[in-house]
């Protein structure tokens, strides 16, 4: 059996041994070096750009500006088609909208000569007033996308004249009337920050024309098929002329879902017929890719004296920066993947505006709105429990969603469109809660323990849900072929970006075929060689792509039996993974497959599986932490973080655990350390690993991740997703723990020592 086994990653050894596997490792040796001239101003118009000197340097092969590239609006978002994000970007534009926006592209034979050429480009800017505070962006007299051809593919509430990238509103029941009936109402305002993805591999792309004159792109992308589509449509190239190869990817977390350097290297290769590569500097990764959406979340919770929750209401202002990538969908997920947690309320309200500002754009990022929404909702649940003088565990137990139940929100709110009705078939929140409380030793530690004169410890807890792909949108497919000697090639569109998805897909395949995993050779994401997949996002790979592999493998079992019936000339043929069997007659798959190619009834056995989710079963999690606060400094130290997860079957328990541990630390980073800081002119001041506080191994004390027994009937071998759920709880957990320790609610992320200190001493 292969599923639920902690086998090593199929690509693990090669990666650790440092074999060439990443985009820059695979770039042709003679690649032109491509660099992007970045805007020093937050909002400006290019009055004049003189590239004459640069262009006449013999080692400079190509200079691109808005003057010589196609003037075509598109969305960089890297989503399915039609995209729910506004078409507000151009390859290069006359107007620049944030510090770090692309102004020109220069390609030459060495980094040094390109830097020299860039220094010789003269640019005259007309400075425009920037909008830097997202709370003043709506209807600001400065319009960021003013008559620039910006449009949307369908109604997403996009009103560029109001600096509105997207907006959304929905109501179930009457929030106003139900609030009047409540005994208590909690109202809170929470702020979350722009967080950087900080994956270790910078965004990288390479382009060259192969011997058949086809444009080949190697890119560190989470969405190779979207890259091909967006590139082809925007550059007016037939998709048949483009091949996108996804090699190994050095982390993504949503940051590589969008298009980054692909257009620039493609255009350079097209103009020069030379291979070209663009490897972002770390500063570019910080300044010029994108961040998590900064949000202001107003939450209202209404309840009766007995603890019954009656009303949930969320009103969000989200900052999408200069371009509206994922503006609508991240907003909606803030509600759709939090509010169903308490599904028995009478009324639910959700509305939000996503505004443009002149800062680095926001985009997809693990958690994708759910982490922002969860911070407000789960902090609010603790607050209303306090108002009711109730135990925060009891109020959750009374009101949280259970197996066999549903929520109207599933039906109403999808991602950028209507949702899908769904009954929850697996939900072990109760079990997760019990395990978490026990591991935290909650009863002895709640609410707080005084350590000494200065230090106090508190415990806090939160629950969370996520999804497993987007129903009727996210599609995955696989091709499985049998080789002589009885091993299989599994070709998947699913995009392993370091998560281990190649491995778990091999496990699902091996389980279905009843063979060992080493018989499955996985190759992922090459638009010429593998079938389609929407890509690595929305927690879709295990559930959606996993099903496609199961289907291909089930078909293969039938194919082997069919070929066996011909071979044995009998209807009574079986296949047990090792042998093809007909009564007493047995032939090994190894011999049988070899005969199939060379000697008898020759044919290639190959099958295709494709799958679109009909629902998006949420994984659930209970997170809890014990924190210690030094009142002299305000420093918050995590003594223990306990995560208990229901993700259905863990296809690979080790990889599932690491996914949750990594997500937890990213969430802890968001809660305590990380923030993209900008000057009053909009310049990012912590755009390096020296200044941007990614948690290091010194910050990790004790993370305790475990999984409860759970089986999702609609999932492949009972699995749901696990990639994002781990990031959702740390903000609320830690804020709740601080509240329990100090009696102070921290409502703004990150919760830095100085913020805690100021809150204690009311400075």
Partner 1 sequence: MEVNLKINGTHYKFAAEFDEVLVDSLRKLGFKSVKRGCDLTSCGVCSIIVDDKLVPSCSYLTVRANDKSIVTVEGIQEEAREIASFINAEGAEQCGFCSPGNVMAIYSMKRELSNPTMDDVRHYLAGNMCRCSGFEGQHRAISKYLEVK
Sites of contact with partner 1 (CB under 8 A):
6, 8-9, 11-13, 15-22, 24-25, 112, 197-202, 248-251, 253, 279, 281-282, 497-500, 652, 654-655, 657-658, 661-666, 688-690, 694, 696-698, 700, 703, 705
Report in angstroms how near the CB of residue 179 gets to partner 1 at its nearest.
40
Whichever of 282 and 408 has its CB closer to partner 1, that residue is 282
Separation of alpha carbons 224 and 139, rounded Å: 37
Tokens standing for residue 274: 């030379």
* CB nearer partner 1, residue 21 or residue 608: 21
**Residue 661 or residue 755: which is nearer to partner 1 going by CB?**
661
Rounded to 5°, the CA angle 163-670-294 comes to 5
Which CB sits closer to partner 1, 49 or 727?
727
**243: Cα separation from own chain's centroid:** 24
Residue among 173 and 653 whose Cβ is closer to partner 1 = 653
CB of 200 to partner 1, least distance (A): 4
53-60, Cβ contacts within 8 angstroms, sequence gap of 24 or more? 53/117, 53/120, 53/121, 54/106, 54/117, 54/118, 54/120, 54/121, 57/108, 57/113, 57/116, 57/117, 57/120, 59/108, 59/109, 59/110, 59/113, 60/106, 60/107, 60/108, 60/113, 60/114, 60/117
Comparing CB distances to partner 1, the nearer of 288 and 593 is 288
With beta carbons less than 8 A apart as the criterion, state whether 624 and 461 touch.
Answer: yes
CB nearer to partner 1: pick between 497 and 552: 497
Given a contact cutoff of 8 angstroms between Cβ atoms, the answer to whether 639 and 157 are in contact is no
Quick check: 632 and 483 in contact, CB under 8 A? Answer: no
Which residues lie below 8 Å from residue 223, measured CB to CB, with a gap of 6+? 78, 256, 257, 495, 534, 535, 536, 537
Q: Are 222 and 495 in contact (CB under 8 A)?
A: yes
Find the shortest distance in angstroms from Cβ 675 to partner 1.
16
Provide, rounded to whole angstroms, the least separation between the CB of residue 280 and partner 1.
10
Q: How far is CA 401 from CA 2, 377, 426, in A?
A: 32, 14, 11
Q: Are 301 and 284 in contact (CB under 8 A)?
A: no
User: In the bound complex, what is the minimum distance in angstroms from residue 12's beta carbon to partner 1?
Assistant: 4
Minimum Å distance from CB 743 to partner 1? 30
Q: Could you tell me the smallest distance in angstroms from the CB atom of residue 140 to partner 1?
A: 35
Q: Which is nearer to partner 1, 19 or 189 (CB)?
A: 19
**Distance between CA atoms of 372 and 731, rounded to whole angstroms?**
8
In the complex, the smallest distance separating the C-beta of residue 368 from partner 1, rounded to whole angstroms, is 17
Residue with Cβ nearer partner 1 (255 or 460)? 255
CB nearer to partner 1: pick between 369 and 669: 669
The region that residue 647 occupies, defined by phi over 0 for left and psi between -120 and 50 for alpha, beta otherwise, is alpha
Distance CA 542, CA 721 (A): 6
3-state secondary structure 44-90: EEEEEEECHHHHHCCCEEEEECCCCCCCCCECCCCCCCCCCCCECEC
Task: Decide: 257 and 78 in contact? Cβ < 8 Å.
Answer: yes
Shortest approach of partner 1 to residue 16 CB, angstroms?
4
Report, in Å, the least distance between residue 517 CB and partner 1. 13
Least spacing, CB of residue 729 vs partner 1, in Å: 14
In whole angstroms, the minimum distance from the beta carbon of 580 to partner 1 comes to 33
Residue 133, both tokens: 């505070």
Residue closer to partner 1 (CB basis): 318 or 501: 501
The candidate with the shortest Cα–Cα distance to 44, out of 87, 93, 91, 104, is: 93
Q: Which is nearer to partner 1, 158 or 277 (CB)?
A: 277
Residues near 682 by beta carbon (within 8 Å), at least 6 away in sequence = 42, 98, 99, 130, 132, 358, 359
């Amino acid at each position: 059996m292969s599923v639920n086994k902690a086998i090593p990653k199929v690509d693990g050894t090669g990666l650790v041994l440092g074999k060439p596997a990443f985009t820059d490792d695979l770039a042709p040796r003679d690649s032109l070096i491509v660099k992007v001239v970045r805007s020093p101003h937050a909002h400006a118009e290019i009055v004049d750009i003189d590239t004459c000197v640069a262009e006449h340097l013999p080692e400079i092969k190509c200079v691109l500006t808005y003057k010589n590239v196609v003037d075509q609006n598109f969305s960089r978002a890297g989503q399915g088609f039609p995209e729910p994000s506004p078409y507000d970007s151009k390859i290069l534009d006359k107007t620049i909208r944030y510090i770090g926006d692309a102004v020109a592209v220069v390609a030459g034979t060495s980094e040094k000569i390109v830097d020299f050429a860039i220094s010789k480009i003269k640019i005259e800017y007309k400075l425009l007033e920037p909008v830097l505070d997202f709370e003043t962006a709506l209807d600001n007299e400065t319009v960021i996308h003013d008559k620039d051809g910006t449009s949307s593919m369908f109604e997403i509430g996009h009103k560029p004249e109001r600096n509105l990238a997207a907006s959304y509103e929905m109501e179930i029941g009457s929030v106003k009337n139900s609030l009047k009936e409540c005994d208590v109402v909690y109202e809170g305002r929470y702020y979350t920050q722009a967080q950087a993805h900080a994956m270790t591999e910078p965004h990288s792309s390479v382009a060259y024309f192969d011997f058949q004159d086809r444009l080949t792109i190697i890119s560190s992308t989470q969405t190779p098929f979207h890259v091909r589509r967006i590139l082809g449509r925007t550059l007016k190239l037939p998709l048949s002329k483009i091949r996108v190869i996804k090699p190994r990817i050095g982390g993504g977390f949503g940051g590589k879902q969008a298009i980054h350097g692909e257009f620039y290297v493609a255009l350079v290769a097209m103009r020069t017929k030379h291979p070209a590569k663009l490897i972002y500097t770390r500063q570019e990764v910080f300044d010029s890719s994108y961040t998590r959406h900064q949000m202001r979340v107003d939450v209202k919770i209404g309840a009766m004296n007995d603890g019954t929750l009656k009303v949930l209401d969320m009103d969000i202002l989200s900052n999408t920066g200069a371009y509206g990538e994922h503006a609508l969908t991240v907003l909606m997920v803030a509600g759709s993947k939090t509010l169903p947690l308490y599904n028995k309320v009478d009324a639910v309200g959700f509305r939000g505006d996503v505004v443009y500002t002149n800062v680095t754009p926001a985009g997809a990022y693990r958690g994708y709105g759910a982490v922002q929404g969860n911070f407000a909702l789960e902090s609010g649940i603790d607050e209303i429990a306090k108002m009711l003088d109730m135990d925060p565990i009891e109020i959750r137990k009374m009101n949280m969603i259970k197996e066999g139940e549903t929520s109207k929100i599933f039906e109403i709110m999808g991602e950028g469109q209507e949702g899908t009705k769904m009954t929850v078939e697996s939900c072990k929140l109760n079990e997760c809660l019990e395990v978490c409380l026990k591991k935290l030793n909650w009863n002895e530690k709640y609410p707080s323990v005084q350590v000494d004169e200065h230090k106090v410890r508190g415990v806090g807890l939160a629950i969370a849900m996520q999804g497993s792909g987007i129903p009727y949108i996210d599609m995955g497919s696989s091709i499985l072929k049998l080789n002589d000697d009885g091993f299989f090639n599994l070709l998947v569109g699913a995009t392993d970006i370091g998560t281990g998805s190649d491995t778990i897909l091999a496990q699902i395949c091996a389980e279905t075929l009843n063979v060992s995993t080493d018989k499955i050779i996985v190759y992922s994401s090459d638009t010429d060689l593998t079938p389609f997949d929407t890509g690595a996002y929305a927690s879709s790979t295990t559930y959606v792509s996993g099903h496609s592999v199961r289907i291909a493998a089930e078909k293969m079992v039938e194919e082997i039996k069919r070929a066996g019936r011909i071979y044995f000339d009998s209807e009574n043929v079986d296949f047990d993974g090792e042998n093809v069997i007909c009564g007493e007659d047995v032939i090994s798959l190894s011999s049988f497959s070899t005969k199939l190619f060379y000697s008898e009834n020759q044919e290639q056995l190959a099958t295709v599986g494709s799958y679109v989710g009909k629902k998006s079963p949420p994984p659930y999690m209970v997170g809890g932490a014990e924190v210690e606060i030094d009142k002299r400094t305000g420093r918050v130290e995590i003594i223990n973080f306990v995560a208990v997860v229901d993700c259905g079957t863990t296809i690979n328990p080790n990889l599932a655990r690491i996914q949750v541990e990594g997500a937890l630390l990213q969430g802890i980073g968001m809660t305590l350390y990380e923030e993209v800081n900008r000057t009053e002119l909009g310049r990012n001041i912590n755009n390096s690993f020296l200044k941007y506080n990614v948690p290091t191994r010194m910050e990790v004390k004790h993370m305790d991740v475990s999984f409860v027994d759970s089986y999702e009937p609609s999932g492949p071998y009972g699995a749901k997703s696990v990639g994002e759920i781990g990031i959702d709880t740390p903000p609320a957990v830690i804020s709740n723990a601080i509240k329990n320790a100090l009696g102070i609610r921290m409502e703004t992320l990150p919760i830095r020592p100085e913020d805690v200190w100021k809150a204690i001493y009311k400075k």
